[in-house]
Amino acid sequence: MERLWTDCRFAQVNQHPAPVGLLLHGNRSRIKAQVALPMPCNGIQKHARQEPLQCDRTSATIQPDDPKNPSTMNRCQLSLLLITALSMTVGAVWADTHGSTLIERPAVGPGMNAYYYDADPEHWKTIFERAGREVFDRRFEIVNALNITPGMRIADVGAGTGLYTMLFARAVGPAGRVYAVDISERFVEAIEARSAEYHVENVVPIVNHQRAVTLPPESVDLVFLADTYHHFEYPISMLASIHEALVPDGVLILIDFRRIPGISDSWILGHVRAGREQVIKEVEAAGFQYQGEPVKLRRNYCLRFSKLQ
């Protein structure tokens, strides 16, 4: 079975989030993080502490005042230099990947997803695929409302244990594709095993990272998010990446919990970052148009968006 993996550069970015608020200007060629280390480095002398640094902003090259005496960097200066190098490298990777000039602040803490990375899929199946969970109880109605046709390419982003992946695989038929995308390798492996067990051959498992779906541009007709949007640590980046992965006029379906202060229970108020109206605003700001609710849910809502150019 075909299996796609995230570039390890991205995994590094995910494990060590880029510094908040770092602004990068210009295109890639101008933000190369090439820091020239004066050699030899092992000659750091403490008496050089007072020496001012000059920073050439365009090349990010840091030089001591006296280039003839490069070994006079102190530890503090070296630390500054290394931090700068690290920040710019991470930033450069980010900008390279996303063509963006702004590093996004996390919308939720990493604790939101920490337990999924090492998840036991069998355990989570008893939670995600249990009677009483609205998106489980009404799964057939939801899938029917999406007008899926044979041959479609669907990305089930935040696929979890594969509840919807399997239903989509049947709906798109052998000519279609379902990308089961999740940050949790354990979940993705379980979906792969589940597909093999049921001889499902049109599912492509993908381990992505917190900032992107890692799908090729214009490769899918529909992106589906069930109870996943509020788990996005970087929703702006994820939406940009989803937008890029969709074909022109592609569809985004977003199911999430209703969050109404004073009405929703305390678990939802504490766990879910944004309510329906705020979510619509965020998704529209990412280049989508809200097109209504294909199915009316009670505890959740189901939103349909189409991609704008």
Ligand X SMILES: C[S@@+](CC[C@H](N)C(=O)[O-])C[C@H]1O[C@@H](n2cnc3c(N)ncnc32)[C@H](O)[C@@H]1O
Minimum CB distance to ligand X, residue 176 (Å)? 19
Minimum CB distance to ligand X, residue 235 (Å)? 9
Minimum CB distance to ligand X, residue 238 (Å)? 5
Minimum CB distance to ligand X, residue 282 (Å)? 14
Rounded CA-CA distance 130/51 in Å is: 66
Nearest to 97 by CA among 240, 225, 201: 240
Closer to ligand X by Cβ: residue 51 or 192: 192
Tokens of 22: 């770092």
Closer to ligand X by Cβ: residue 10 or 88: 10
For tokens 């809502």, the residue is 301
For residue 226, the surrounding DSSP H or E stretch is: strand 220-226
Minimum CB distance to ligand X, residue 161 (Å)? 6
Rounded CA-CA distance 205/185 in Å is: 9
Helices (H), 74-172: 75-98, 111-117, 121-128, 134-137, 139-144, 163-172
On the CB side of 292, how many CA atoms lie within 13 Å of its CA? 4
Closer to ligand X by Cβ: residue 88 or 272: 272
Do 304 and 294 form a contact (C-beta atoms < 8 A)?
Answer: yes
Closer to ligand X by Cβ: residue 182 or 244: 182
Closer to ligand X by Cβ: residue 187 or 305: 187
Nearest-10 crossing angle of helices 75-98, 8-15: 120
Under DSSP, the state recorded for 275 is: -
Point out which residues bind ligand X (CB under 6 A).
113, 116, 128, 135, 157-160, 163, 181-184, 187, 208, 210, 226-228, 231-232, 238
Minimum CB distance to ligand X, residue 113 (Å)? 5
Closer to ligand X by Cβ: residue 54 or 117: 117
4: phi then psi, degrees, rounded to nearest 5: -110, 140
